[in-house]
Amino acid sequence: MSVSEVSFWILATMCLGGALVVVVTRGMMRMTLGLGAFLLGVAGFFLYYGSPFLAVAQVFVYVGGVLVLILLAIMVLKRDDTGRPQLTSRVDIATALVPIIVFVFMNQALSPVGEELGVVLGSSDSVEDMRMALLGTMLPQFELVGVLLLVALVAAVAIVVRKERS
């Protein structure tokens, strides 16, 4: 059995195990971890089949974005004394203000990306040109947005923990 076959079966086991955990488990945190294992396995398959860009995109978008969003929703969910979620709606001015501020900062950080992508897409259809535009000169802007989202996530968790303690 070659290294390629072993890596394929490890990825297949990872995907099937993660999917099985999602289907069988009743706890939300375990389901989220199972989904994370499945998504990492899919990223591994992208890498295995020779698409490293899709593998990195899978990790950033789904594992880093969607999974963190699910975890944040689980952590922020208010629970009653029995542990069941209380699904009540609270409208707060800060709730509307924070996404607007994050949108403005992200728009400012990524506005050069849109201009450069318009030039790249208008001039040629080369994937290499688009890759260079996204991951070459505009990489600091993407990193800045990632750090901004991380800071927003940590601030949200800190606010929730502070409210629960008081």
CATH match of 1-81 with 3.40.50.1820:
no
C-alpha angle with apex 80: 74 to 84, nearest 5 degrees?
Answer: 55
- The DSSP letter of residue 83 is S
How high is the pLDDT of residue 16?
A: 94
Nearest Cα neighbor of 55 from 66, 65, 64, 47 is 47
Does 6 have pLDDT greater than 80? yes
DSSP three-state, residue 86 = coil
Beta bridge partners of 85: 79
Does 121 have pLDDT greater than 50? no
How high is the pLDDT of residue 135?
A: 66
The more confident residue out of 20 and 109 is 20
Confidence of residue 113 (pLDDT cuts 50, 70, 90): low
Does 101 have pLDDT greater than 60? yes
Nearest Cα neighbor of 21 from 47, 39, 45 is 39
C-alpha angle with apex 30: 155 to 55, nearest 5 degrees?
Answer: 75
Q: Which sequence spans correspond to the domains of the chain? A: 1-81, 89-166
How high is the pLDDT of residue 102?
A: 80
Per residue in 13-60, pLDDT (tens digit) is: 999 999 999 888 877 788 888 988 999 999 999 888 888 888 888 888
Angle between helices 139-165 and 67-76 (to 10 degrees): 20
| Residues 15 and 42: beta-carbon distance below 8 Å | yes
Among 33-37, 133-137, 144-148, 155-159, top mean pLDDT goes to: 33-37
Instruction: State mean pLDDT over 126-130.
Output: 63
| Distances in whole angstroms, Cα of residue 65 to Cα of each of 71, 125, 149 | 10, 28, 9
Per residue in 48-99, pLDDT (tens digit) is: 888 888 888 888 888 888 888 887 777 777 777 776 666 565 566 776 787 7
